[in-house]
Amino acid sequence: MLSHDTTAKLRSLVEQACGVNTGTTTEKHLKPLSFASVVIVSKESKSDRPEEVFAYAAGRPKLLSGNATDVDAKNSIYWMASFTKLVTAIACMQLVEQGKLALDDADQVERLCPELRDVKYLADDGTLEQKSGRITLRMLLTHTAGFGYTFTNEKLRDWVGNRNPPISPARQQFWNQPLVNQPGAKFEYGISLDWAGFLVERVTGTRLDEYMQRYIFEPLDIKDMSFFPDGDMKSRVLAMEQRLPDGHLKARGHAWKYALHVQDHNKPDTVRSGGAGLFGSPREYAKILAMLLNNGVSTTTGKQNPNYARQYVPAAEPELVYPSDGYYGLAPPQMPQGWGLSFMISPSVTGRSDNTAHWSGMSNMFWWCDREKGVAGIVASQVLPFADPEVGKLWAKVEAAVYEKTGKL
């Protein structure tokens, strides 16, 4: 369990980041966050079951509906963005264990998703060429299939920008984008996990949300998690903000608004984005991290999830190891980082172990899961653009505070 002093420090850190009670502690030109929430799960020893030991939110969040003034951010609904990727990977690995999917079978991938057989490679001059290799599930899970994102790849951005009219991500056609690299050639963060989700749907004949609900959320007793929040869940969706170049924050339209306005999400071509589509509560998502800490067993229902949770997943390819100025700035200088099956594996100056898994979401949400030291956590907000300095500082300080006293829990 966290000590009283650590709990008090964590509360103070969240409040400071939001400018509550303690005044502004941000960089001079940056305004404090409107709100933030933090959840920590841990276990005392290898024989103990992980449990929530800290959940706290500060600030003045607003609901997207605008209906409430006193909002509890720690129990509200966030756009989870790329937090979705871990859940999709768990679904894939369940099916790998059952023999229904294979990590390295390109024939199977092309049979289930013929689009991946026919997908073209986008050359630097903007022309489409035949791809030189074949795509496997392992490539999709490790972001080496060749897909990119428009917000990180300029040639893909330009290619998509020239489509007229623009296509909504609610439709399958949106995801039929060309490759920006040849299959297996290099790491490129992109829509690969969305295609992994399509594989899950096609091999099972089940919508991705229905599969996740039956085989992941229900066994873990997760209530608030959905691609299409409605009813009470939709009423608790938080509004998003944009940090302007001058450091101020202002309200903005929701970045994943299509999912909140789909009238009939059972239409055949309506997409469940396995890479970025989930909405949910950080406290509920933490149950997934607790399961990973607990050798794949739910701490509430006792049900078993994939066996891969019992072991460290190494970086998939040596060429995917890169120095600390890459995706994770808290890694010690020149300490290698690697990509596992849907998450980053990095040490940190905060005290986490070398094989700690972590990742983030575009809405400035961050999770880490340290199986060696028995602790996992989430730092959550709803602000763009990604890598907001104030959220990043809060994440670093929260991790450091958790490990500060004893180095482990």
User: pLDDT digit string (tens) for 73-88?
Assistant: 989 999 999 999 999 9
* 354: pLDDT strictly greater than 50: yes
pLDDT at 72: 87
Mean pLDDT of all residues belonging to the chain: 84
pLDDT at 252: 93
Of residues 152 and 110, more confidence is placed in 110
SS (H, E, C) the chain: CCCHHHHHHHHHHHHHHCCCCCCCCCCCCCCCCCEEEEEEEECCCCCCCCEEEEEEEEECCCECCCCCCCCCHHHCEEECHHHHHHHHHHHHHHHHHCCCCCCCCHHHHHHHCHHHHHCEEECCCCCEEECCCCCCHHHHHCCCCCCCCCCCCHHHHHHHHCCCCCCCCCEHHHHCCCECCCCCCCCCCCCHHHHHHHHHHHHHCCCHHHHHHHHHHCCCCCCCEECCCCHHHHHCEECEEEECCCCCEEEECCCCCHHHHCCCCCCCCECCCCCCCCEECHHHHHHHHHHHHCCCECCCCCCECCHHHHCCCCCCCHHHCECCCCCCCCCCCCCCEEECCCCEECCCCCCCCCCCEEEEECCCEEEEEECCCCEEEEEECCEECCCCHHHHHHHHHHHHHHHHCCCCC
pLDDT band at residue 30 using 50, 70 and 90 as cut-offs:
confident
- Tell me: the pLDDT tens digits for 118-139? 999 999 999 999 999 999 999 9
pLDDT band at residue 47 using 50, 70 and 90 as cut-offs:
low
pLDDT at 270: 85
Residue of 42, 82, 273, 381 with catalytic role: 82
pLDDT at 326: 42
pLDDT band at residue 342 using 50, 70 and 90 as cut-offs:
very low
pLDDT at 172: 76
- The percentage of residues in the chain with a pLDDT greater than 70, rounded to a whole number, is 80
Task: Of 128-132, 151-155, 282-286, give the lowest mean pLDDT range.
Answer: 151-155
Q: Is 82 a catalytic residue?
A: yes
